[in-house]
Structure formats: structure tokens, C-alpha cells
């Protein structure tokens, strides 16, 4: 059980699968996106749980993962960058 007492995660060789009742199960691969998410508080931070698996950008040169509160993008020349969606 995760620290929020709502979700679960399981470690595998190349990353984790995180699950919550609201988002279902999604894979997060070890690497820059996962490290950025951890630095921002992972499921306890503003981004919350992942809502997609790790995906390719439309140009095929980057990766991204969507979360309850935003997105983390990664591109080789830029590194991992988060965008938080503000709600009122």
C-alpha cells in the first residue's frame, strides 16, 4: 500500500506499476520521467497518480506520461519537464 493508503505499486526489473481506484494500473519506467515524478512527491505530490503508461511523443523523439494533475515530458536535449494543470 502506498503512503496515501489508497493505491498500490509494484517494482519490476525496469520500473514500477502504480495503481489507484481512480486511475487503474499504469507502468512507469525507471528513468528521467520517473525521477522527476519522485522529486515532485510521486503520488503524494501535485501530479498524483499516473493516468497513462509511458508513451512516445508524436515526433518519436521524446517520451511523456500523464498524471492526475499534469504531464511530465522528456526529450534528450531538454531533460524531463513537468507541466502541472491548475484547477479551481
DSSP characters over 36-79: HHHHTTGGGSTT-SBSS--EE-TTSSEEEEEETTEEEEEETTTE
Q: Which of 52, 87, 57 is nearest to 74 (CA)?
A: 57
CB atoms within 10 A of CB 47: 25
pLDDT, the chain, mean = 93
Is the pLDDT confidence value at 43 over 80? Answer: yes
Percent of the chain with pLDDT over 70: 98
Q: How confident is the model over 1-10, as pLDDT tens digits?
A: 788 888 999 9
Between strands 79-84 and 70-75, the pairing is antiparallel
Closest CA to 85 of 72, 69, 74: 69
- Say yes or no to pLDDT of 25 above 70: yes
Amino acid at each position: 500500500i502506498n503512503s496515501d493508503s489508497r493505491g498500490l505499486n509494484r517494482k519490476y526489473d525496469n520500473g514500477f506499476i502504480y495503481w489507484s481506484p481512480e486511475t487503474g494500473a499504469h507502468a512507469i519506467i525507471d528513468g528521467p520521467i520517473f525521477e522527476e515524478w519522485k522529486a515532485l512527491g510521486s503520488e503524494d505530490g501535485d501530479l498524483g497518480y499516473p493516468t497513462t503508461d509511458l508513451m512516445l511523443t508524436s515526433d518519436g523523439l521524446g517520451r511523456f506520461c500523464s498524471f492526475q494533475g499534469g504531464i511530465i515530458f522528456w526529450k534528450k536535449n531538454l531533460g524531463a519537464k513537468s507541466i502541472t494543470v491548475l484547477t479551481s
